[in-house]
Amino acid sequence: MRKRLRPGASCAIALGLALSLGACSGGVAKQASGTAGTINVEAPNSAPTFTNNFNPFSQSDTGPGLNIIYEPLLASNRAKGGVLIPWLAKSWAWSDGGRTATLTLRPGVKFSDGNPLTPADVVYSLDLLLKNPKLGGATYSAVKAVGSDAVAVTWKSAAYQQLGDLKTINIIEKKLWVNRKPLTYVDKNPVGTGPFAMKAFSPQAVTMAARTDYWGGKPAMANLKYVAATSANIQTQLQNNSIDFCTCDIDAKSYVASDPQRHRFIMAWDGSVVSVMLNNGKAPFSDVHVRRAFADAVDTAAIAKLASSKLPLQEPPASPTGLSTKTYKDWIDPKYLAPRKQDVAAAKASLQAGGYTVQGGRLMKDGKQLPVTFVAPSDTPFIMTIAQLVIQQIKQTLGIDIKLSGGANASDEVAKGKYDLASTWLSSGEGIYTALNQFNGSLASPIGTEASNNSVRFRNAAFDKVLAEMAGTDDQNRLKQLGMQAQAIFVDQVPTIPLFSSGAAGVANTRHWTGWPPAANPDYLANTGSGTELITTLLHLKPAKG
């Protein structure tokens, strides 16, 4: 449901987000008066100890909370299909046939050092990525200031669906960074536009103080404290009430059951789908017959049930489109809402149609053995379990032996295409185009070359043509039609095996703070991994009574 927001457009687009309740008028959401206490949060992807470096461009370890110190021009509501919402930009309008977006900055935004946000800061921030590919590169081709309160961003072709790329770019203060080397500078005193500023650092905890002049309103808590909690001790810290909120890998079912009145489960359905990656760039999965066979041989419903054993709810089996049914229900072709059912006869028929046989546990073609390896990181127990379940099912249904390979280099092997099967979270909640575009053939790198996207190396000319049409339209009905065309190709060609819709599983302790979103159908997501979502969550919270 990605829409462009024109000046004067309806504020309903930003439904449920505190920071957007006043977006169209240029105001901010009204927050609870006063401040009280500290909220303790587990740092996303927490390491045993923190690094005192808050450089948003650093390629090495950084301290926690970067995503709420620095903010982007735009955000998205992944609870509502990835619709774009205003953030530091209060509105935007298209011109030049969809090649240029002019973004008007929100008035009254200040950096934590008290200086106002200006178009010069935004132009400098966007230009850094444009001129320095090592910082991640940019999809746009030019950016310039427009008057005293706006910037114009230009692409080489119609880019209605590329506007969302700006969500990932941190806006920094030009005068602080103009003489710094962004890749190597060690920043111990970060300055951003976010609602909290650095207060105290230690390797075990980072404390940030709430700003009284934040454009989105004053947070109800005086301090936000990030706690270094590893998978080995997070459950204990939650149980002894030393952490108020986390999105982390724990036994959420037992945590909620230990104190049902105060312990809450919060599922951030962020558009992700736990999937089996099939390496389309090399045999045997370069052959669609093999991809279809493996997809039909897997019982996604059984895997989804087992994978949800530590959650208070059942994660649903995925649509064969690879899109999350939780996030994109209204965008998925109705005939593909139901998961692919296990069909062993069809799986065997697909192998036969491709000229394959199975002998002694080995996949064979033209007298040659085609060994199959499933790569899974040994330090991610959840993904390793998924791999084991899939391997077991393929053995039972097709009689094929699959070697399980894991270790510290697993992620690198997958990125470089040195795998047959792998499992991870795919898709996204950033809008229908973004979710499908990660399988764009133009993004597929050769085997041996690291892929930042399309790591399954799927190439299909018809699919790419549909994506190009999607990128160039802002007509929502047309976008939906094209999305369904792309889905049909995806289902037929099976670049991955979608297993179940997932997200960031979180838990909250209401002993100190209340106002958490509901687990079932939230208006916004509570997720420590997303800065705009965490900020929205924090601004909804109030001190618990008593």
pLDDT over 70 (residue 361): yes
Is pLDDT larger for residue 267 or for residue 540?
540
Does 206 share its domain with 297?
no
Domain CATH number, residue 205: 3.40.190.10
pLDDT for residue 427 is more than 90: no
| 211 burial type by CB count under 10 A (0-12 exposed, 13-18 middle, 19+ buried) | middle
Residue 379's CB: how many other CB atoms inside 10 A?
12
Exposure pattern of 336-375 as b/e (b: 16+ CB <10 Å)?
A: beebbebeeeebbebbeebebeeeeeebbbeeeebebebb
- The mean pLDDT of 58-63, rounded to a whole number, is 86
For residue 129, give Cα distances in angstroms to 100, 157, 158, 266, 490: 18, 19, 20, 35, 32
In this predicted structure, what is the pLDDT of residue 238? 87
**Are 413 and 335 part of one and the same domain?**
yes
Contact 112, 211 (CB under 8 A): yes
Q: Which of 190, 216, 232 is the last residue of a domain?
A: 190
pLDDT tens for each residue of 315-358: 999 999 999 999 999 999 999 999 999 999 999 999 999 999 99
Kindly tell me if the per-residue pLDDT of 9 is higher than 50. Answer: no
Whether residues 92 and 198 share a domain: the answer is no
Cα gap 401→363, rounded to integer Å: 8
Identify which of 39, 42, 36, 79 has the alpha carbon closest to the alpha carbon of residue 429: 79
Same domain, 160 and 236: no
The answer to whether 444 touches 454, Cβ cutoff 8 Å, is yes
**Which band of pLDDT confidence, cut at 50, 70 and 90, is reported for residue 46?**
low
Judge if 135 and 25 occupy the same domain: yes
The proportion of the chain whose per-residue pLDDT surpasses 70, expressed as a percent, equals 92
Written as six digits, the tokens of 397 are 């249904």
Q: What is the CATH number of the domain that holds 81?
A: 3.90.76.10
Q: Which pLDDT score is estimated for 452?
A: 79
Distance CA 278, CA 417 (A): 10
Which pLDDT score, from 0 to 100, does residue 184 have? 93
Q: Which of 236, 258, 260, 257 is nearest to 248 (CA)?
A: 236
Q: 67 and 209 in contact (C-beta within 8 Å)?
A: no
Give the pLDDT score at 114.
Answer: 97
Residue 110 DSSP code: B
- For 516-526, letters b (16+ CB in 10 Å) and e give bbebeebbbbb
Confidence of residue 546 (pLDDT cuts 50, 70, 90): low
Highest averaged pLDDT of the listed ranges 6-15, 32-41, 366-375, 523-532:
366-375
CATH number of the CATH domain containing 291: 3.10.105.10
**CA distances (Å), 471 to each of 97, 151, 157, 159, in order?**
12, 22, 9, 6
For residue 327, give every residue at least 6 positions away whose Cβ sits within 8 Å of its Cβ, in sequence order, or none. 78, 79, 81, 82, 269, 270, 271, 429, 501
CA nearest neighbour of 226 among 65, 383, 339: 65
| Rounded-to-5 percentages of helix, strand, coil across the chain | 30, 20, 50
Task: Provide the pLDDT for residue 35.
Answer: 53
Nearest to 238 by CA among 389, 152, 248, 521: 248
Nearest one of 211, 198, 247, 193 to 75, comparing CA atoms = 193
d(CA 304, CA 311): 11
Note the pLDDT tens digit of each residue in 486-495: 999 999 999 9
Confidence band for 34, pLDDT divided at 50, 70 and 90: very low
Please check whether residues 287 and 204 belong to one and the same domain. Answer: no
Q: Do 342 and 315 share a structural domain?
A: yes
Pairwise CA distance, residues 209 & 525, whole Å? 23
Burial of 382 (0-12, 13-18, 19+ CB in 10 A): middle
Q: Does residue 269 surpass a pLDDT of 80?
A: yes
State mean pLDDT over 28-39: 57
Nearest to 436 by CA among 501, 480, 375, 500: 480
Q: What is the pLDDT of residue 16?
A: 33
pLDDT class of 51 with cuts at 50, 70, 90: very high
**Residues 118, 249 share a domain:** no
Residue 37 shares a structural domain with residue 6? no
Q: What pTM was computed for the model?
A: 0.85
Among residues 124, 156, 190, the one where a domain terminates is 190
Q: Tens digit of pLDDT for each residue in 111-121?
A: 999 999 999 99
Least confident interval from 12-16, 47-51, 431-435: 12-16
Q: Position of tokens 């139901």?
A: 338
Is the confidence at residue 536, as pLDDT, over 60? yes
CB 230 within 8 A of CB 48: yes
Q: Are strands 74-77 and 402-405 parallel, antiparallel or unpaired?
A: unpaired
83 confidence band (pLDDT: 50, 70, 90): confident
Of 190, 221, 237, the last residue of a domain is 190
3-state secondary structure at position 38: strand
- 358 and 441 share a domain? yes
- Could you tell me the residue range of the domain that residue 511 belongs to? 32-70+194-266+503-546
181-199 pLDDT tens trace: 999 999 999 999 999 999 9
- 433 shares its domain with 538: no
Q: Which two tokens stand for residue 465?
A: 């043509």
**How many structural domains comprise the chain?**
3
* 301, 480 contact by CB (below 8 A): no
pLDDT of residue 8: 28
Same domain as 150, residue 203: no
Is there a contact between 83 and 13 (Cβ–Cβ < 8 Å)?
yes
Determine how β-strand 74-77 pairs with β-strand 83-86.
antiparallel
